[in-house]
Amino acid sequence: MLKVPEHQVAGHLAIDGKLGPLVDDSGRFYKPLQGDGRGNKELAFYESFSSDTRVPDHIRKYFPVCYGSQLLEASNGSGLLHHLVLQDIVSSHRNPSIMDVKIGSRTWYPEASDNYIQKCLEKDRRTTTVSLGFRIAGLQLYEGKESGYWRPGRKEVQSFTVYNVRSILRRFVSSNSSIGNENSDCSFAPSIYGRSAGILEQLLELKAWFEDQTIYHFHSCSLLILFDKESVSKGSAPVPEIKLIDFAHVVEGKGVIDHNFLGGLCSLIKFVSEVLSDSKESSIKDCVESEKPGICTDNGNCQ
């Protein structure tokens, strides 16, 4: 039984008779092959990437598994259409908080038409793409059983300023992330951003590869960041993940480092590091100001 993804935060949605991706209960994500050759290019990238021995094994975990393509009934009722069959990244998460971050200060690809470049440039300037080297393209924050999810609309997301981006990165890892709360406590930052195998460590591992790899240039790709907030609230060990997605505009690197992607990734790392640093300082301050000061550990927690 195919259904509309419950936790899709960006891209084309398969609702109201529109064409979009579908998922099943076995953990697979079915993405319609886009027109104008983009879908075939994305499929070709996955096929090339999966067999490319130059890609280190430890980097492959940051990419969804691709199971090829399959002819399926399109979500808009237009008939049979080829779909990419991918790993459903969120299927292993119960109530995931998800952020879709489009990486790079330039989102068009070298062979794009003048009209396409102009369209991308206008959007890049209107968002934080040019100023930060990345922009938040979509997100959902799980706020608890009663409140459910906070999902800002597309127009609101596209209006995010640098201040908003910094605020969202803080709110993403806060226990008091409800709407209207301007003082995010960032209490989950040490567990999600800072722990061993946390988001920051994963981003740094990805950055180390991009500092050397000249195989591909990733234009208009997104980085998904996700974790289960509920499990962290209950004291369970979190399993935060990052995954690269959307490869319709990947081109050959031809021996040149992908500075556009690398620059945006470094900028995101800087912002995440600042949130983590602020959370540690806040934790130390709480320890000092308490009646019975505890010991502040390296991850910012007080004992």
Between CA 20 and CA 49 the distance in angstroms is 24
Average pLDDT on 266-282 reads 89
Residue 177, pLDDT score: 65
**CATH of 1-92 given 3.40.50, 1.10.3470, 3.30.200, 1.10.150:** 3.30.200
CATH number of 93-280: 3.30.470.160
* Whether 20 contacts 4, CB under 8 Å: yes
> Quick one: CA torsion of 214, 241, 204, 252, rounded to 10 degrees?
10
The rounded radius of gyration (Å) of the Cα atoms in the chain is 20
| Max mean pLDDT range (102-111, 232-241, 273-282, 292-301) | 102-111
Domain(s) labelled CATH 3.30.470.160 in the chain stretch across: 93-280
Beta bridge pairs of residue 102 = 135, 222
Output the six-digit token pair for 54: 């130059």
Domain(s) labelled CATH 3.30.200 in the chain stretch across: 1-92
Q: How confident is the model at residue 281 (pLDDT cuts 50, 70, 90)?
A: low
Query: pLDDT digits over 192-220, tens only?
Result: 999 889 999 999 999 999 999 999 999 99
pTM summary value: 0.88
